[in-house]
Amino acid sequence: MSLRRAVTLGLAALLGFSTPVHAATMYTAPLSFQLTFGQDLECKAVNVANSPTTVRIRAISDSGTTTNDSGDVILAPLESFALTANALADRHFCRFDVKGGKRRIRAGACTVGSNGCLAVLPAQ
């Protein structure tokens, strides 16, 4: 290997060009909803890292249909975000795609009714 190539590879590694961005996907278990209670699904995430973190949150029905999608959301340290989906009388779960690894966020799902949060499930 030539000295020039070694220097180029060393600089690329030092600047981060050769390191892929680590991403992780987390899911909650499905939650059941009853139409008569008018419940919604709330998928929540908080950034517990010391730097901004990008997360994408999706509410998904048991049939695999995405009922709501946040797109990429950049969260500052200790900032939280909640995605709400009208779940009707179906089972739903939340999917969290995190850039930088799943240690950067804490996430979960909540059934929300007229009395607030009724059930909470953590994402794994």
Is the pLDDT assigned to residue 82 strictly greater than 80? Answer: yes
Give domain status of residue 3, yes or no. no
104 φ, ψ (degrees, to nearest 5):
-80, -20
Give domain status of residue 61, yes or no. yes
Give domain status of residue 76, yes or no. yes
The strand pairing partners of 86, in sequence order, are 40
Give domain status of residue 35, yes or no. yes
**Residues 113-119: what's their mean pLDDT?**
74
Give domain status of residue 1, yes or no. no
Domain that includes residue 73, residue range: 21-122
**How far apart are the C-alpha atoms of 124 and 116, rounded to whole Å?**
23
Give domain status of residue 2, yes or no. no
**How far apart are the C-alpha atoms of 45 and 104, rounded to whole Å?**
10
What does pTM read for this prediction?
Answer: 0.78
Is the pLDDT assigned to residue 114 strictly greater than 90? Answer: no
Q: How many domains does the chain have?
A: 1
**How far apart are the C-alpha atoms of 60 and 70, rounded to whole Å?**
12
The residue with greater pLDDT, 100 or 37, is: 100
At 66 the three-state DSSP class reads: strand
**How far apart are the C-alpha atoms of 20 and 94, rounded to whole Å?**
25
The residue with greater pLDDT, 64 or 9, is: 64
What is the predicted pLDDT for the residue at 16?
A: 47
Q: What is the CATH number of the domain that holds 73?
A: 2.60.290
pLDDT tens sequence across 23-54: 899 999 988 776 555 578 899 999 999 999 99
Q: Are the C-beta atoms of 121 and 31 separated by less than 8 Å?
A: yes
CA torsion, points 84, 90, 94, 95, in degrees to nearest 10? -120
